[in-house]
Amino acid sequence: MKKTYNLGIVGYGGMGKWHHLNMDRIDRVNPVAVCDIAKSARDRAESYGLKTYDNINKILKDDSIDIIVIATPNHFHCPYAIKAMQAGKHVITEKPITTSSANLQKMIDASVLYDRKLSVHQNRRWDKDYLTIKKIVDDKMIGDVFTVSSRVMGSRGIPGDWRAKKAFGGGMMLDWGVHLIDQALHMFNSPVREVYVRMQHVHYSEVDDGFSLVLTFENGVVYTIDVFTSCYINLPRWHVCGYEGTAVINDWSCDGKIVNIQKGKENEDATPIEAGAGLTKTMAPRTDKSTVEHSLPHIECDEWVEYYGNYVNAIEGKEELLVQPSEAMRVMRVMEAAFKSEKQNRSINVNI
């Protein structure tokens, strides 16, 4: 008979509650307890029949708990994860896994020392828009890709309160950036050689409330990530160019298309168009006779259910973790290079 793993959640805010309320879709993982310093959060958890604790040390003494999910402000991830593994618990952290590569190495060392599974909830590897773009890239539907633009844009500023505090690991690089960088590294099997960023401080001086990040991969792909929180007209979520076409996804609904060049029509002459105060052939649009439009590929996506199933199988030695600490380390090193780029106002050469 297969074992059911009891889950304890540390931090019962938005994401902590999200893990709990979506767990009915997960086989063999049973939420049983919550730890939060706020009485209102504990009251909510108790209304669902969960045990509650007001201190990390108390929930770690609960021998019925096998897995701890850490969904606290970012600066608590490292010390809480190490304590949990020391107490014999397997650990999943919300993203980012921690706030520095030095902290992450301490967590990795603890996972080895105490023989516990450590992973980070990079759930956006299962986003339908990302999986659609990844299939287009992997299957060379637009030929070999040379540039990718990945964007998340909004107009609501930094969410919540602690995310605006540097000491808590706030800012958009550590919020959305960690997801989009993970997607970039997961999409291409190639080292990053150069990192350049410009950060925005539109309404927040202590942390970034937006940024433009350019990653140059060893395979030549230039991958741009834009995260804006003071933007009232959004650009497409994805815009990807290959040697044989272009793919666009406009929004989370996966509205978009692929446009390919017709074979043999690559060098079709263009009729000049008026552009401002002059004429241009370079920017003239292609004719319908030289391109063909396709729908985006259909993706069957079971969202993040696979993440927990894999995590349980990894505990039992049946599979390797889908989201490895070593992958989180690559993301962390890219983010640290980005902060260095911002501070020094230059591109940073890396081997990540």
pLDDT in tens, 27-63: 899 999 999 999 999 999 999 999 999 999 999 999 9
**What CATH class is the domain 5-121?**
alpha beta
Q: Give me the CATH code for the 125-254+296-300+334-349 domain, please.
A: 3.30.360.10
Which pair of tokens denotes residue 212?
């433009």
Q: Does pLDDT of 146 surpass 80? A: yes
pLDDT band at 1 (very low <50, low <70, confident <90, very high): confident
State residue 132 phi and psi, 5-degree precision: -65, -45
What pLDDT score was predicted for residue 160? 76
What is the per-residue pLDDT across 298-330, written as a single tens digit (0 to 9) for each? 998 766 788 999 999 999 999 999 999 999 999
Q: Which of these, 320, 328, 338, 268, lies nearest to 105 by C-alpha position?
A: 328
Contact 331, 182 (CB under 8 A): yes
Rounded CA separation 310/178 (Å):
21
Instruction: Evaluate whether 147 touches 121 at the Cβ level (below 8 Å).
Output: no
- The candidate with the shortest Cα–Cα distance to 324, out of 138, 127, 108, is 108
Helix-helix angle 178-187:325-344, to 10 degrees: 120
| Predicted local distance difference test score (pLDDT) of residue 310 | 94
Q: What is the per-residue pLDDT for 24?
A: 82
Residue-wise pLDDT tens digits, 259-306: 999 998 888 888 898 989 999 989 988 888 899 999 999 998 766 788
CA pair distance 272, 283, nearest whole angstrom: 8
Mean pLDDT of 118-124: 96
User: For residue 247, what are the β-bridge partners?
Assistant: 240, 258
pLDDT at residue 332 greater than cutoff 80: yes
Say if pTM beats, i.e. exceeds, 0.85: yes
Position 303 scores a pLDDT of 67
| pLDDT score of 159 | 82
CA distances from 167 to 3, 81, 217 (A): 40, 18, 31
What are the extents of the domains in the chain?
A: 5-121, 125-254+296-300+334-349
Q: 5-121 and 125-254+296-300+334-349 share one CATH topology?
A: no
Rounded mean pLDDT of the chain? 95
Nearest alpha carbon to residue 175 among 94, 70, 79 = 94
Q: Where are the beta strands (DSSP E) in the chain?
A: 5-10, 29-35, 51-53, 67-70, 90-93, 118-120, 145-153, 192-200, 210-217, 222-228, 238-242, 245-249, 256-261, 273-275, 278-280, 291-294, 348-349
Closest to 260 in 3D by CA, of 239, 217, 290, 305: 290
- The rounded Cα 318 to chain-centroid distance in angstroms is 25
Residue 289 to residue 329: CA distance in whole angstroms = 48
Per the structure block, which two tokens stand in for 67? Answer: 């897995």
pLDDT on residue 23 = 87
Question: What pLDDT sits at residue 337?
Answer: 98
pLDDT score of 302: 64
Place of tokens 């590897």: 125
Tokens of 163: 């995310």
